[in-house]
Structure 1
Amino acid sequence: MGAYLYLALAIAAEVTATVSLRLSEGFSRLGPSVLVVIGYGVAFYGLSQVLKLGLPIGVAYAIWAAAGVALVAIIGVLVFKEPFNLAIAAGLVLVIGGVVLIEAGSGG
């Protein structure tokens, strides 16, 4: 499994865990609470494998964090009916732009 496949796994697991955290209602619901713990465990395992395979930590973490932020924000809007406005859109563009700059600066 390549570094970017592990990174995709880590992102999916982190997003699942974060959404489950919202659904756990303060860890008062068992199913979502279990998904939080498993999801974050899988996310950090995947991220550790990405680093083991040689992807630079700055690039790996930037992609992981930015993708998580963007996906959770989109899920928040679509599933939880959270607000979406120009400021939020601009923030997401800046986060993604930051990752592009980190990737470009790393020579990767």
Structure 2
Amino acid sequence: MSAWILMAGAVVCEVTGTLSLRAAIDDRRWYAAVAVGYLSAFTLLALTLAAGMPLGVAYGVWTAAGVALTAIFSRLLFNEPLTRVMVLGIVLIMVGVLLVELGSSH
């Protein structure tokens, strides 16, 4: 279970870093949060792998959750578009990652 907690932390840090990158366009002070967010995300991702999560599963979950959360929060924070087609794409990515995860347990 600790691998999943580490993964959740990696996702939160990656999304924070990415949203901070968008904020840094308007205010350069956000670049510090970008650096901390990405460094933390990669560190937690490495710890997730060290805790035993397979690379394919870890990377799939990390990227799918990151894409979904970044799209949602960029809509809320920056009023960027989130169309039905984009939501469908996010759902398809998540289904694909679920299939990879289910397939790795065999």
Q: TM over 0.5: same fold? A: yes
Counterparts of residues 1-108 of structure 1 (less than 5 Å): 2-25=2-25, 29-30=28-29, 32-107=30-105
CA offsets, 1:16-59, max 9 Å, x none? 00000001118x612x1000001100000000000001100000
Which contiguous aligned blocks of 4+ residues in structure 1 show a shift greater than 6 angstroms? none
Letter in 1 for 2:61: I
Letter in 2 for 1:23: A
* C-alpha separation in 2, matches of 1:97 and 1:87: 15
| TM-aligned CA deviation for residue 86 of structure 1 | 1.7
| TM-aligned CA deviation for residue 79 of structure 1 | 1.4
* C-alpha separation in 1, matches of 2:21 and 2:83: 24
Query: What is the TM-score normalised by the length of structure 2?
Result: 0.94
Aligned residues: 106
* C-alpha separation in 2, matches of 1:51 and 1:85: 34
Q: Report the secondary structure of 2:80's partner residue.
A: coil
| TM-aligned CA deviation for residue 89 of structure 1 | 1.1
| TM-aligned CA deviation for residue 67 of structure 1 | 0.3
Percent of aligned pairs with the same amino acid: 44
